[in-house]
Structure 1
């Protein structure tokens, strides 16, 4: 393991994090709620450490897979540790464990919170809380690659370790250009949503907060009752549409920019993604119609918002789906696990893995019935490599093993099974709300410090596609080879 190179890269990570922290510092100064110093002190603390690490001389700049995955895992822990400091210093969240949990939840775009009272917090702190979603949504290290394309390393491994999906890659020959294109699309969609929300009646501050949460599919709101607080159907529909857009693979948007609209609609994963959304909306709308007194428009709007919010793992809420019938809650649970498309800002297992798994299972059944028939798994008309199929099942195995271990540890807190299991599931899927105590109107404050650390690990593992966090526990990774 080339530790010097890893530490030098961590220095770059800290430098860009503190530069990004200047934005909420400016917001805090503008509103004058007394939280500006919390950002200033954090920046002052980070600066010498960042510069010191960046000054480390490295003989060999070559980055291999293990350095890439290890660097990604360590980087996300580091940005969460330092990102938690403004919460602690300002007194908004005095406990460092709670602040770390909140920051991990922000950067991983989970949206799980330990806060019960949000509206009274300083606006600079609330902006930073939502801004972490936007930073983490596309990938913090991808953001660095967009701004600093030449870091003296084979950074494709950083992209592979951080990208949300089984098959990340370049959409143009140069990795830095790929990163820039992704962030340009990301930025423009965020701006468009902000403007539309303002036209719908939200203030600029409220609009940007919710656009940041939508773009990162995170779900932190500056209102105690989330989007429901505005009682604004137009804003609900706008957020619904943009949540759905941010759950789409960004490479498909690039295809539209190139003028290849057919390639966009030929995506088999996109068709499955839209089918899951459509079918779920229909079933839940019918299921909750009686609860809403037969009001069809309201039932469609509520079901559409919550289905899209959960499948994209955004976690915004307009209703307490804890009160919905069992069928609706089961559908929500399935969507919570499945997640959005690969290459989007959403979490969960990802639609592409679900599709590959189902096709592989169907092929397995056909092989039993027709042993001599040669059959392959295809996506978008192309044969899926057997190594990818194997990787999908390995990922699913690791996903559920971590989930089960997490449930066992968190169960020591003594809460009911639904609360405990969905707290872990919603954390590793980066959704935010679960059921019962951690439902849309609840929070995670009652969990013990150990449980919050376990849930933070689950959030990081889910956002980083499991392996960067597991690799950190490998014995071989700690052996210095040069």
Structure 2
């Protein structure tokens, strides 16, 4: 039996938190002498509904099991999307439902795809809320609430597991709530550091804080139509590269590094593979970009920037990477399937899954020669169990199947093959730019209402790493026994 009242209580707490997180956007609206009423009314609606739900069921004290955990996480992203789009609709900046829900889901899932054709005319308060949605979704609002739920008498471990379903068991503290708190301290600290360096580099404070939020969230929303290409500054772009790379790193690795536990960092096979892959890909793509007429430093910076941006699923752009030939375009398209590290704010498949798949495939040749030998798969010095290997293989299969079927669906809606492949790949990987009509200098405004709703679902599916959402569509999930 599913504990519906406990779920309603937690939904209420989340909506109250969303309302409070709208407050800084109201402050920017007042500072820039804009109409703050759309944000205030959105705060009021979210806070009122949340308070009613929470207070009505505040005396509920039932254990949250895995079933409730998955349902709460899925519903929380739906509730956040529906209430998070209110500022867009009430301000008439994005009046249609399908556009508003697409922009909100894209923000919360840190995809960064947009339907806006002129970002710079948007009110500052709305733009800040747009960036804030990415920062909220970056490390996951459930991870934040797990840190504060004990104060409300709500357990959090099942929410943490459902929100972070990637194959990583690293913890910085035995208690889940302490782990969540410390990860959020790192997240906030790095966001403030990025904001300060952007500001020192020449951005206005408003632009700096917006880009600080969306960089650490690996979201890619910018306050400029040209994204990071607007800032013709090597300093700003290298700052972005550095913090995007950090945001795509497992946050427990960053925490151990900050605590001086260098051995814990160096023993991470995923971190080593992630670092080597980024550098190797940047070197490979340096040549076609340099051949395009750029000097060596600029070519390397463009190559490294776009590789880091796509691998970490941030989606900032400094260049139209589709202009460097079919080979380079194909490589950039394949980057949409990499993803950052497990336990990072990045989306995508994640390096640890690729690493497990490659190592297991390589060991399979050895098992064929020595069928009776026990050939264990070891990652980070630990033996990977058969159950985890099976889980990763199933994930990769379902991911590929979702990509193929999603691309087929868009093609049947009338879109060309490159656009269909690109839109589904970038939505599922939560990246932003892709190929076809959704390249680095394009947007998603031309899609039909049904296509936007469909891609919004794909973005949610990718952000929750498939299983958390798909399990709700299985009959045995709803069985009472």
The TM-score bracket by the shorter chain reads over 0.9
Residues 1:420 and 2:411 are matched in the alignment? no
Partners of 2:322 and 2:328 within 8 A in 1: no
Partners of 1:133 and 1:216 within 8 A in 2: yes
Partners of 1:164 and 1:463 within 8 A in 2: no
Partners of 2:348 and 2:462 within 8 A in 1: yes
What's the CA shift for 1:326?
2.1
> Partners in 2 of 1:92 and 1:428 — Cα distance?
26
1:118-137 matches, within 5 Å, as 118-137=119-138
Partners of 2:216 and 2:244 within 8 A in 1: yes
Partners of 2:347 and 2:431 within 8 A in 1: yes
Residue 270 of structure 1: aligned partner: 271
Partners of 1:142 and 1:159 within 8 A in 2: yes
> Partners in 2 of 1:478 and 1:97 — Cα distance?
29
Q: Secondary structure at the match of 1:472?
A: helix
Aligned length: 479
User: Which structure would you say has the larger RCO, counting Cα contacts within 8 Å and 6 or more residues apart?
Assistant: 1
When residues 404 and 448 of structure 1 are mapped into structure 2, their CA distance, relative to the original with a 3 A threshold, is: same
> Partners in 1 of 2:20 and 2:347 — Cα distance?
26
Residue 115 of structure 2: aligned partner: 114
What's the CA shift for 1:154?
3.9
> Partners in 1 of 2:480 and 2:398 — Cα distance?
27
1:297-336 deviations in whole A, cap 9, x for unaligned? 1100100100000000000000011212222222222221
What's the CA shift for 1:184?
0.7
Residue 386 of structure 2: aligned partner: 386
> Partners in 2 of 1:335 and 1:472 — Cα distance?
30
Q: Secondary structure at the match of 1:309?
A: helix
> Partners in 2 of 1:315 and 1:282 — Cα distance?
20
Partners of 2:165 and 2:468 within 8 A in 1: no
> Partners in 2 of 1:381 and 1:167 — Cα distance?
13
What's the CA shift for 1:168?
4.7
What's the CA shift for 1:165?
2.3
Partners of 2:306 and 2:317 within 8 A in 1: yes
TM-score, normalised by the number of residues in structure 2: 0.97
Gapped runs of 5+ residues in structure 2? none
Residues 1:459 and 2:459 are matched in the alignment? yes
Q: Secondary structure at the match of 2:174?
A: coil
Residue 319 of structure 2: aligned partner: 319
Q: Secondary structure at the match of 1:364?
A: helix
Gapped runs of 5+ residues in structure 1? none
Partners of 1:109 and 1:219 within 8 A in 2: yes
Partners of 1:248 and 1:341 within 8 A in 2: yes
1:119-151 deviations in whole A, cap 9, x for unaligned? 001011111111111111011111112233344
Residue 13 of structure 2: aligned partner: 12
Partners of 2:103 and 2:113 within 8 A in 1: yes
1:223-247 deviations in whole A, cap 9, x for unaligned? 0010101211210111011100111
What's the CA shift for 1:458?
1.1
Range moving further from structure 2, 17-26 or 365-374 = 365-374
Residue 171 of structure 1: aligned partner: 172
> Partners in 1 of 2:236 and 2:286 — Cα distance?
19
> Partners in 1 of 2:205 and 2:101 — Cα distance?
28
Q: Secondary structure at the match of 2:150?
A: coil
Partners of 2:146 and 2:157 within 8 A in 1: no
